[in-house]
Amino acid sequence: MTETLPARVRHRGRDVLLKYHRLLTGSGIHPPNGLAALGECLDRGAEVLEIDIRLAADGRFVMLHDKTLERETADGVGPVARLASTAFTELRLRGSDERACTFEQVIERLEAAPYRPLKLQIDLKEAAPLSDAAIGVLLEAVDRLTAVPGLRVVVGCLADWNLRALRRERPDLAVGLDFAFYLDAPVDGMPRLPTRLGSYGYLDDHPLAFDRSWPTARYLEDRFAGLIAQVPGAVEYYLRKELLALCLADGFDPIGYLHGHCPGCLVDVWTIDPERDGGEAALLQALDAGADQITTNQSLQVAAWVERAGR
């Protein structure tokens, strides 16, 4: 009998959801963002799925995390935006013989799935402003998905302007916001937004970060207040695990702040894999801090670790 995938873990009397990042379970059987991985999640009982979508050259959305094809496909080269969706599906996912797939194919698979409660986070990877046509394509897809019994859809994006554009057309659209374009921990040397390491030790291009005029906790409180105002009514917030750790070390509780100022919101901490360096410590910190949801590539390992820890 196939082992059921964990939907949540229990920590100090709370249920914490597990989100299957790029449809990965930790089994290592299938490549990410593919139909086989989706099938594994659906067949084995995962309850919160995350998929990544990007625009292909023909204006259709395809399943891909990166801007370019090299990391996730075995035979693709260059930006996905230069490739039509039909050509994209001729590529093989890296490490397998499986073909890459479109968002349309994922929708069809979910429409055909047996009924059960499920949440799907669509991680919109486009940072450039969406065209009216792309907004229409995405909202039509969301309409089809929300018509599936038991399926709840949340659209997440780093680009707050795209979330606002979608909400102008669909005010009741459930959206999730990540602050990483505006405030982040300096975790790698890759050039990205924000571009400047501010005086408080955070990546932050805002003028408040230029000079250390306030206590760090007050600075962070003001920055979070401004950031949540960018997309009023967001139902989910996504915090990088390193940002959470740095905030807590500086005496500011970002999860508690979001819960207090956005009643009913869900706070997700990403991406935590117990088998990677520091993963177990990051998992414990996120759970202790009150995270509602953990984004992970290794849900099986997360559940096993929590069970062993007896918390």
Assess if residue 18 is contained within a domain: yes
**In this model, does residue 8 exceed pLDDT 80?**
yes
Assess if residue 75 is contained within a domain: no
Are 196 and 205 in contact, with CB atoms under 8 Å apart?
yes
CATH of the domain at 274: 3.20.20.190
Closest Cα to residue 59, out of 90, 78, 83, 33?
83
Determine the Cα–Cα distance for residues 68 and 274; give it in Å rounded to an integer. 28
Closest Cα to residue 88, out of 96, 76, 70?
76
Closest Cα to residue 244, out of 189, 285, 188?
285
Assess if residue 63 is contained within a domain: no
Assess if residue 87 is contained within a domain: no
Provide the token pair at 15: 């249920």
Closest Cα to residue 86, out of 104, 107, 70, 73?
104
Range of the domain at 139: 8-53+104-309
Handedness of CA 232, 271, 41, 60 (dihedral sign): positive
Assess if residue 61 is contained within a domain: no
pLDDT confidence of 299, banded at 50, 70, 90? very high
User: 162-196 pLDDT, tens per residue?
Assistant: 999 999 999 999 999 999 999 999 997 777 899 99
Give the CA distances from residue 151 to residues 53, 110, 115, 145, 211, in Å, rounded to whole numbers and listed in that order.
Answer: 18, 9, 9, 7, 47
Assess if residue 179 is contained within a domain: yes
pTM: 0.97
**In this model, does residue 294 exceed pLDDT 70?**
yes
Determine the Cα–Cα distance for residues 123 and 125; give it in Å rounded to an integer. 6
What is the bridge-based pairing of β-strands 61-63 and 175-178? unpaired
Please count the structural domains in the chain: 1
Taking residues 145-162, report their average pLDDT.
98
User: 246-291 pLDDT, tens per residue?
Assistant: 999 999 999 999 999 999 999 999 999 999 989 999 999 999 999 9
Assess if residue 233 is contained within a domain: yes
Q: Check residue 1 and give its pLDDT.
A: 38
Assess if residue 92 is contained within a domain: no
What is the bridge-based pairing of β-strands 236-240 and 48-55? unpaired
Are 180 and 195 in contact, with CB atoms under 8 Å apart?
no
